[in-house]
Amino acid sequence: MISLDYFDILKKPLVTEKTMLNAQHNTVVFVVHKDATKKLVAEAISKIYGVKVKKINILTSPHKPKQKKGKTKPYKKAYVVLNKGESLDNIITTA
């Protein structure tokens, strides 16, 4: 595995209707690097945002065929559950 910087691990926050509903339950969703692990994601979030992570679920989305030609890129996303009292509201509203 290559060495990754914290800012390379977390690519961007994923802001959709579904993730906004999850935000009410202290869950934030990030698109992460394809080689990122749960430990690396937790460490990156703690160092960058200064919050404590309770739990992380990582999903790998496979490429899907497009309607006309080609296929979408595969990506990996991390559902990060924060401890009670912690929040990343400034990330969700500015993304």
Report DSSP state, residue 68: S
Q: What residues does each domain of the chain span? A: 6-94
Phi, psi of 59, rounded to the nearest 5 degrees? -120, 140
Q: At 17, list the tokens.
A: 């209707």
* Nearest one of 93, 88, 5, 92 to 49, comparing CA atoms: 88
What's the pLDDT tens digit per position in 27-72?
A: 999 999 999 999 999 999 999 998 999 999 999 988 888 888 899 8
Task: State which CATH number among 1.10.599.10, 3.20.20.70, 3.40.50.970, 3.30.70.330 fits the domain covering 6-94.
Answer: 3.30.70.330
Q: What is residue 20's predicted lDDT score, i.e. its pLDDT?
A: 87
Predicted confidence at residue 34, as pLDDT, reads 92
